[in-house]
Amino acid sequence: MSASKFTYLLVDDRGPARVITINRPEALNALNAEVIDELTVAVTEAAEDDAVRGLVLTGAGPKSFVAGADIAAMSTMSPEEAMTFAGRGHALGEMLSSLPKPVIAAVNGFALGGGCELALACDFIYAAENARFGQPEVKLGVIPGFGGTQRLLRRVGAAMALELCMRGNMIRADEALWIGLANRVVGKGEAVDAAVAAIEEIAVMGPLAVAKAKELIHRGADMPLPEANQREIEAFAGLFSTEDQREGMAAFLAKREADFKGR
Average pLDDT, the chain: 93
The percentage of the chain sitting over the pLDDT mark of 90, rounded to a whole number, equals: 88
- HSE (side-chain half, CA atoms, 13 Å) at 29: 29
Whether pLDDT at 94 is above 70: yes
Q: What homologous superfamily does CATH list for 207-254? A: Lyase 2-enoyl-coa Hydratase, Chain  A, domain 2 (1.10.12.10)
Catalytic residue among 38, 45, 94, 137: 137
What mean pLDDT comes out for the span 214-239?
A: 94
- What distance in Å separates the CA atoms of residue 192 and residue 131, rounded to the nearest whole number? 13
221 within 8 A of 154, measured Cβ to Cβ: yes
Whether pLDDT at 4 is above 80: no
Quickly list DSSP for the chain: --GGG-SSEEEEEETTEEEEEE--GGGTT-B-HHHHHHHHHHHHHHHH-TT--EEEEEESSSSEEE--B-HHHHTT--HHHHHHHHHHHHHHHHHHHH-SS-EEEEE-SEEETHHHHHHHTSSEEEEETT-EEE--GGGGT----SSHHHHHHHHH-HHHHHHHHHH--EEEHHHHHHHTS-SEEE-TT-HHHHHHHHHHHHHTS-HHHHHHHHHHHHHHTTS-HHHHHHHHHHHHHHGGGSHHHHHHHHHHHHTS-------
pLDDT tens profile 174-221: 999 999 999 999 999 999 999 999 999 999 999 999 999 999 999 998
- What distance in Å separates the CA atoms of residue 46 and residue 56, rounded to the nearest whole number? 11
pLDDT tens profile 29-76: 989 999 999 999 999 999 999 999 999 999 998 899 998 777 888 888
Catalytic residue among 117, 200, 247, 257: 117
What mean pLDDT comes out for the span 93-103?
A: 96
- Give the per-residue pLDDT at 55: 98
- Give the per-residue pLDDT at 99: 96
Catalytic site includes residue 117: yes
What mean pLDDT comes out for the span 117-137?
A: 96
- What distance in Å separates the CA atoms of residue 97 and residue 128, rounded to the nearest whole number? 22
- What distance in Å separates the CA atoms of residue 31 and residue 66, rounded to the nearest whole number? 7
- What distance in Å separates the CA atoms of residue 22 and residue 56, rounded to the nearest whole number? 11
Reported as a pLDDT band with limits 50, 70 and 90, residue 1 is very low
Q: What is the CATH number of domain 3-203?
A: 3.90.226.10
Catalytic site includes residue 94: no
Whether pLDDT at 262 is above 70: yes
What are the residue boundaries of the structural domains of the chain, listed by start?
3-203, 207-254
- Give the per-residue pLDDT at 2: 44
